[in-house]
Amino acid sequence: MPFPLPPPGLRLAGVSATLAMTALVQGCGGGDSTPATPTVTALSCDDGLKTAFKPDANTTVLLVKSFKAGDAIALSGTPTTPAPPVAPADLCLVKLLVGPGNAGPATAPSTSAGIGIEVWLPAHAAWNQRIRAYGSGGWAGSAQTSTTTIGGGGDGNDLHASTAGKGYVVATSDHGHTSPFGGISASFGMNPDGTVNTTLWKDFAERSLHEMSVKSKALAKLYYGKAHSYAYWDGYSTGGRQGLKLAQVYPDDFDGILSGAPAINWTRFITNELYPQVAMQRELGGPIASAKLTAVSTAAIAACGGAALGFLTDPYACRYDPTKDAAALCTGVAGNGGVVGTNASAASCVTLAEASVFNRIWYGQTADGSVPDPALDNASGPYLAGSNQLWFGLTRGAPLDGLAGANAFPIATDQVAIEMQNAALGSVFFSNATGNGANAWQRFSYNDLTVAAYQGLVQQPQFSNINTDNPDLTAFNARKGKLLLYHGLADNLIAPQGSDNYYNRVASAMGGVAEVQKFFRYVHIPGLSHGGRLEAAAKVPVPQTALGRDELFLALQSWVEQGTAPSTFTATSSDGTVSMPLCVYPKKVRYSGSGAVTAAGSYTCQ
């Protein structure tokens, strides 16, 4: 006689014989001709859960640990400084390892036992039947497989615990590898012989995301004795890219996806992140002083109407050119357009060559290092100007120290090292049996970096299509999924024009903006750099995470569960002095012409 079976791939090993027999008898109706639903017993946060959870042969439970409200979120090896966060409620931490990983020498960064996953489970009575999976940052590689420390990932375990304390099951991952340097080391991506490690690239780029979804859902169903009602993805930077990869490749995994500052167009923008350093080396012989980076960025903000706020509401409209700004050029320096410099401060004034490099940084990578007059083309997108422009530059007003500071951004150098299969090009964090990173990129010409950029495109199959730029979201739309993307207009690492480009390509492929907005909406956030939502400058109005107001996620949740599509948001700065509407793209926030520039009521979305 047939009887209800567990979900495919889920074996309830370790459940008592009595419970198993009860399910069998009930399933067969106990002699009755009508089958009955088996009784499912929720499990406790102990080794019984560790024994019972065996969803497949590749999955191992490494740790089950109970935390009471008020306990420090820490394991035996967790540092005490700074003090670890405190559990906001009773929580259960489960650490999983999902193989097969990548075999190899024990000391090689390319050797991995598999994908590490952490799942935070609220108390049985507190679960809201929702799963909220978080993405990682940079190259990932956190401590999810460690039984002595907790893997914080890109957002930190204080956020994850806080979210679980609000009733969500929370899942995070190391995305297939661990690193002593966390998210700034790409050593895992190169085999000991210098070739691309395609196995771990696939785990990093996409497989780990699906495993997080499948395993967290199965674990929740076993632990609570009932299935989830909704599943959400919440990711920023690399986590934002991961969310879009899920929509593209695993459209059934999540009902709603919140994608912030997504690191899509991966090889394009990361190779481009090295362009400011190459330009400074080739044009100036070394970096521009930090004080000059700040002074010229501040001048750009002032020149384009942002002095009162300290940031630009629409940097795309800004065509500031320091080669034509007498106040930026050093005294006596002949600039462009007949301008002669008047700045007598050696600390802040710039030469004509330095001013020209600023324009290169703002325009983005070109094949030959050339840059057009900003009055004609300021790289505001959303499409590249032509074959000579390889990617977009940072917007005027975005902080420049991250990419144009004294040291190259290590994520960029390591990506280029893998593209060129030359470990020496990497940062000091990059290690390989063929050699270690030695920042050999410093000898690069513009053409060398162009070769690296094209190599990144050619190698997409080896990188498991890490660029995550497929505009076909038909399957995600068909399953009624909802996607909310946001990007800061002062992002200092990932140019927001890349997100603009992707959204416009999706609209072009799927019937236009109005049609796409039925399931996919995009929000620009003026003044927000890449530092994150809670770490923004005190006077920049930005949305927050689950540690704060959580307004973007709650809007997504309302869209998924009540059908209320997000339109205009109001964001407030952390110091409470500035508020501003955030507009759904392609609309922009516009000052109405009257009222305080710090008040949301003085702006409209047009």
Region 285-301 average pLDDT: 98
pLDDT at 2 over 60: no
What's the pLDDT score for residue 28?
35
What's the pLDDT score for residue 196?
98
Q: Please, which pLDDT band fits residue 531 given cuts at 50, 70 and 90?
A: confident
What's the pLDDT score for residue 40?
56
Residue for token pair 């909220």: 132
What's the pLDDT score for residue 559?
98
pLDDT tens per residue across span 419-464:
999 999 999 999 999 999 999 999 999 999 999 999 999 999 999 9
Q: Please, which pLDDT band fits residue 211 given cuts at 50, 70 and 90?
A: very high
pLDDT tens per residue across span 139-149:
999 999 999 99
pLDDT tens per residue across span 340-378:
999 999 999 999 999 999 999 999 999 999 999 999 999
DSSP secondary structure letters along 414-459: HHHHHHHT-GGGS-TT---TT-----GGGG--HHHHHHHHHHHHHT
Name the residue among 119, 152, 115, 127 with its Cα closest to residue 230: 127
Q: Are 33 and 10 in contact (CB under 8 A)?
A: no
SS3 of 350-385: ECHHHHHHHHHHHHCCECCCCCCCCCCCCCCCCCCC
Residue for token pair 């009887």: 3
Residue 332 zone, left/alpha/beta (φ > 0; ψ -120 to 50; rest): left
Phi and psi torsions of 593, nearest 5°:
105, -10
- Angle at alpha carbon of residue 308, lines to 364 and 345, rounded to 5°: 65
pLDDT at 534 over 70: no
Name the residue among 568, 489, 577, 532 with its Cα closest to residue 312: 489
- Work out the number of other CB atoms within 10 angstroms of the CB of residue 101: 19
Region 119-132 average pLDDT: 98
Region 33-53 average pLDDT: 75
Residue 56 zone, left/alpha/beta (φ > 0; ψ -120 to 50; rest): beta
Name the residue among 337, 308, 305 with its Cα closest to residue 322: 337
Q: Please, which pLDDT band fits residue 182 given cuts at 50, 70 and 90?
A: confident
What's the pLDDT score for residue 30?
36
pLDDT tens per residue across span 424-436:
999 999 999 999 9
11 vs 491, residue with greater confidence: 491
Q: Please, which pLDDT band fits residue 411 given cuts at 50, 70 and 90?
A: very high
d(CA 420, CA 278) in angstroms, rounded, equals 16
Q: How much of the chain, in percent, has pLDDT values that exceed 70?
A: 92
Region 497-508 average pLDDT: 98
What's the pLDDT score for residue 158?
87
Q: Which of 14-28, 113-127, 200-214, 312-326 has the lowest mean pLDDT?
A: 14-28
Q: Which of 78-92, 196-210, 494-508, 589-603 has the lowest mean pLDDT?
A: 78-92
Give the DSSP H/E element, type plus range, for residue 532: none
pLDDT at 267 over 70: yes
**Domains of the chain: which residue ranges?**
42-129+141-206+213-227, 275-407, 482-605
What's the pLDDT score for residue 537?
81
Q: Which long-range contacts (CB under 8 A, 24 or more apart) does 320-324 make?
A: 320/374, 320/396, 321/355, 321/359, 321/373, 321/374, 321/375, 322/296, 322/350, 322/355, 322/358, 322/359, 323/352, 323/355, 323/356, 323/359
What's the pLDDT score for residue 20?
34
d(CA 271, CA 283) in angstroms, rounded, equals 19
pLDDT at 5 over 60: no
pLDDT at 12 over 50: no
What's the pLDDT score for residue 535?
65
pLDDT at 335 over 90: yes
The mean pLDDT value of the chain amounts to 92
496 vs 7, residue with greater confidence: 496
Name the residue among 75, 420, 377, 55 with its Cα closest to residue 221: 55
338 DSSP 8-state letter: G
Q: Please, which pLDDT band fits residue 409 given cuts at 50, 70 and 90?
A: very high
Q: How much of the chain, in percent, has pLDDT values that exceed 90?
A: 88
- Sign, CA torsion 485/175/390/399: positive
- Kindly state the tokens that stand for 44: 């406790």
- Work out the number of other CB atoms within 10 angstroms of the CB of residue 342: 15
Region 221-236 average pLDDT: 98
